[in-house]
Amino acid sequence: MEVRTVAQPQGAIRHAIDFDGAAGPHWFDPESWRAQGVVVEPLAGGRGGATMVCADPAWLVLRPYRRGGWMRRITRDRYLFHGADATRGFREFDLLARLHDAGLSVPRPVAARYRRSGISYRAELLMHAIPASRTLDSEIADARAIDWRSVGRSIGELHQRGVWHADLNARNILLDAAHRVWIIDFDRARQRPQQARWQRGNLERLRRSLVKLGHAHAAAAHWHELHEGHREAMA
């Protein structure tokens, strides 16, 4: 994926150069999309603010970065600036670009932006949506057939490349109409040296999320299959 970074007032935009149109602030403004006749809808889940941009031919997800935890009480969407490449949007964009180029099932990034204000910044990420997809949580809740080995294999492919996912849970794993497994939300994800400890931690986080969402029986019944797929990918 060829990428370009364009300076903006108090910030910059990094984008895939093959995406139609000139990069600009309008890419990150839902009202600008609506003014072009594009349908823009709120996206359920997450910390709020994400929207689905139903552009033709590509459907996109526009996600502003939002604080979680106790920091949300201090600021909803500002982060300390430590350089352009360390901003949340640029880090996630760069990681997604590398993983997409390696053939992994992750969203294809379109653009990321940061805007500075003093020592802090705000950021957004624009990426391709996964068409006709549902979360692992929803698939289990509706008693759909799930290839748990494929779920484990997709996680293993990330781990084999040293990718630690900061929030691997049953709502950040998607299955599309062809039953292909996708992993999303790489905010705060990192590439690390291979180590069984953090890889086990990722899997245990997923197991805890299944239990929390009421899928303890599914986790118990299919965890061995997921582990087998994970081991296959790691081998």
- By annotation, the residues acting in catalysis are 167
Q: Which of 43, 10, 41, 40 lies closest to 25 in space, CA to CA?
A: 10
Q: Which of 149, 107, 108, 147 lies closest to 233 in space, CA to CA?
A: 149
45-67 burial code (b ≥16 CB/10 A, e <16): ebeebbbbbebeeeebbbbbbbe
Q: Which of 51, 61, 57 lies closest to 93 in space, CA to CA?
A: 61
Contact 157, 182 (CB under 8 A): no
Q: Which residues contact 185 (CB under 8 A, 6 or more apart)?
A: 46, 167, 172
How far apart CA 75 and CA 77 sit, in angstroms, is 6
